[in-house]
Structure 1
Amino acid sequence: MTRLLIVCAANLCRSPMAEAVLRGHAAGLGLSEVASAGVWASSRRQEADKRALQALQARAYGLDRRWRSRRVRPEDFDDFDLLLAMDREVLRGLEAQRPARSTARLALFLQGMTGLGRDEVPDPYFGTVEGFERVLDLIEARVAAWPAAVDLKRHFTAAA
Structure 2
Amino acid sequence: MEKIKVLFVCLGNICRSPTAEGVFTKLVKDHDLEAYFSIDSAGTHAYHVGKEPDLRSQAAALERDIDLSGLRGRQVINGDFEDFDFVLAMDDENYSILINACPEQYKTKVNYFLDYAPQLNERQVPDPYYGGQYGFERVLDMIEQASAGFLKTLQESGRIKSTG
TM beyond 0.5: yes
Aligned to 2:12: 10
Letter of the structure 2 residue corresponding to residue 61 of structure 1: I
Letter of the structure 2 residue corresponding to residue 138 of structure 1: M
Aligned to 1:41: 46
Cα offset, 1:103, TM superposition: 6.3
Secondary structure, counterpart of 2:18 in structure 1: helix
- Indicate how the Cα distance of structure 1 residues 113 and 8 shifts in structure 2: closer, same or farther if over 3 A, else same: same
Alignment pair present for 1:56 and 2:61: yes
Percent identity over the alignment? 37
Note if contact 1:6-1:18 (Cα within 8 Å) is conserved in structure 2: yes
Gapped regions of structure 2 (runs ≥ 5): 160-164
Aligned to 2:145: 141
CA distance in 1, matches of 2:158, 2:47: 31
Note if contact 2:87-2:110 (Cα within 8 Å) is conserved in structure 1: yes
Gapped regions of structure 1 (runs ≥ 5): 154-160
Secondary structure, counterpart of 1:36 in structure 2: strand
Secondary structure, counterpart of 1:10 in structure 2: coil
CA distance in 2, matches of 1:107, 1:61: 24
Note if contact 2:95-2:110 (Cα within 8 Å) is conserved in structure 1: yes
Note if contact 1:83-1:104 (Cα within 8 Å) is conserved in structure 2: no
Q: Which moved more, 1:104-113 or 1:125-134?
A: 104-113
TM-score (norm 1): 0.84
RMSD: 2.2
Match of 1:99 among 97, 100, 103: 103
Aligned to 2:88: 84
CA distance in 1, matches of 2:111, 2:158: 12
TM-score (norm 2): 0.82
- Indicate how the Cα distance of structure 1 residues 129 and 43 shifts in structure 2: closer, same or farther if over 3 A, else same: closer
Q: Which moved more, 1:83-92 or 1:42-51?
A: 42-51
- Indicate how the Cα distance of structure 1 residues 124 and 42 shifts in structure 2: closer, same or farther if over 3 A, else same: same
Q: Deviations over 1:85-123 (max 9, x none)?
A: 001110000011113443661100011433313121000
Aligned to 2:113: 109
After superposing on structure 2, the runs of 4+ consecutive aligned residues of structure 1 that deviate more than 6 Å are none
